[in-house]
Amino acid sequence: MLLTSILPCDGKSLLSAAGFCCLLICPPGLAESAQDEQQQRPQQETVPQGREALSFYPITEQAEIEKNRLSDQAIAYPANPVSRLSPLLEFGDDFLGRGPIKPGIKTPFEQMLQPTFLLYGQFRSALQSYDAEGKDIVQWSTRLDLHGDVKLSGTERIVFSLRPLDNDKGEDTGFTFSPDGGEDNWHDQTNGKLTQLFFEGEIGEIFPRLDPSDSKTWDIGFSVGRQELKVQDGILLNDTFDALGITRNSLIARGLPNLRLTALYGWHDIDNPFADVTSPSRLFGLLSQADTAWDNSLDLDMVYVDNDNSANAWYLGLGSTQRIGMINSTFRINTEIPLDEDNSTLSKGTLVTAELSGGFAHSDDLWYFNSFLSFDDFSSAARSRDGGVPLANIGMLFSPVGMGQYGVPLGDSIEDTYGAVAGYQHFFGGIGSQFIVELAARSSMKSQQKRDAVGVGLRYQKSLSRQTLIRFDTFFAVKEKQQSAKGVRLEWLLKF
């Protein structure tokens, strides 16, 4: 046989053959002797894995311990270090710094705390002109976003935010010039109101005794306080309100190598300027995100809003992000289902969006093509007043700038409409200077609504330093049964 010509017929060689039975190729007597030899061999030692491997073959001789001990001397990195950008204010260990870490503080629960504090943010100043929707405005606007991060450990921190130059009604500190020769107007909206204040942490890290070996299911994260939340890329939910969120991450199910579940409860300052609801509301949500065996990420979110005036509704969202060949793609469907369809304070509707983007060979330039289809009149479960329409992330012409009275070029109602956005982003000699041109169009599925519009937008931005940049925006749009809209603005931004 071919098998016997390849394998020599002795017991030791046959026992080392990959799974072949020696009874098929050797005489019975030789097979029995091989089995006896196999039974006399000691069982193979199991190689430990995970934490057990830490004590595998421990070193006991002092000379060997000293030989393998890590040195206390700092060794210079062979490359020239990049200078660190310091936050506006910091205490404790340097953020992204080098050198020894200060000793921590052990809590009664045996958690090690290493407190640090960072104060960072950005300042924006813009001169802008907006002519649309029956108003012609020329103004200088400012905005300051400050964020404080009290880091207690790697998983626990307290975060607060302020916007001391503008308020939640979209009014900011600046100067409005009257284009008709009337009276100029200085407006001061300085304030000390906190826009965010929340604590986040992880139960398993706060109470290490619950799981000393880190092998149980106590890796439960949570956050509580006033915080900004965005769901379905800001389509289903985009607001800042008082909320409690509890998250279980790294769950594994069949076909889902990683699953994250979040239970959400919101109880105060839930806002939606597109719904005629003024009474207090409460928000309940179950949010899930999963990586799948089909090489995509799925988002399935359910939100229920309970209102004192019976303006109650379900908000459901499903999204999928994946690569199709060389194209990045995201598809989403979001729907609003009021429990009482006769309640005029709420609308109902479904919004379908598709986002495609990609690059060019031998170039850093990017292209994108996004489209949407809206049935009835969809609105978000909660939306801040400066968050724009639910299509704010689909393109520049649907997105607010977040400063002053500069409007959204195509930010009208999306009731029974469809549209698309096509854009091209070009980089000049690196990422420090870039130019974006975008063309967008929208139309109504009902001819009597007269909401057809088309617009073009341009943006150029250039970094002046590692912390500052300038940005120039302009647009022109033509809307059915309305006057043409146009705008131009120049912004200076400082990050710290």
CATH code given to domain 115-495: 2.40.160.100
**Kind of pairing between the strands at 135-151 and 116-132:** antiparallel
Closest of 150, 138, 208 to residue 180, by C-alpha:
138
Q: What is the pLDDT of residue 486?
A: 95
Sign of CA dihedral 259, 315, 307, 310: negative
Query: Two tokens at 243?
Result: 């909320």
Query: pTM of the entire structure?
Result: 0.81
Q: Residue 266 burial (CB < 10 Å; 0-12/13-18/19+)?
A: buried
Which pLDDT score, from 0 to 100, does residue 279 have? 63
Phi–psi pair at 298, nearest 5 degrees: -110, 140
Quick one: CA dihedral 242, 147, 385, 174, positive or negative?
Answer: positive
Tokens of 219: 């890796």
- Report the distance separating Cα 101 and Cα 105, nearest Å: 12
Q: Which residues contact 40 (CB under 8 A, 6 or more apart)?
A: none
The pLDDT assigned to 11 comes to: 37
Query: What is the number of other CB atoms lying within 10 angstroms of the CB of residue 225?
Result: 16
End-to-end CA distance of the chain: 79
The pLDDT, as a whole number, for residue 277 is: 60
Q: pLDDT tens digits for the chain (496 residues)?
A: 333 333 333 433 333 333 333 333 344 443 444 445 445 544 555 555 544 444 445 667 777 777 777 777 777 776 677 788 889 999 999 888 877 888 889 999 888 899 999 999 999 999 999 998 778 889 999 999 999 999 999 899 999 999 999 987 778 899 998 765 456 689 899 999 999 999 999 999 999 888 887 778 888 999 999 999 999 999 999 999 999 999 998 888 888 888 999 999 999 999 876 666 666 789 999 999 999 988 999 999 999 999 877 778 999 999 999 999 999 999 999 999 998 776 667 788 999 999 999 999 888 999 999 999 999 999 999 998 888 889 999 999 999 999 988 989 998 888 999 999 999 999 998 888 999 999 999 999 887 777 799 999 999 999 999 999 999 999 999 988 888 899 999 999 999 9
Phi and psi angles of residue 87, each rounded to the nearest 5 degrees, phi first? -65, 175
The reported pLDDT for the residue numbered 38 is 47
Give residue 96's pLDDT. 84
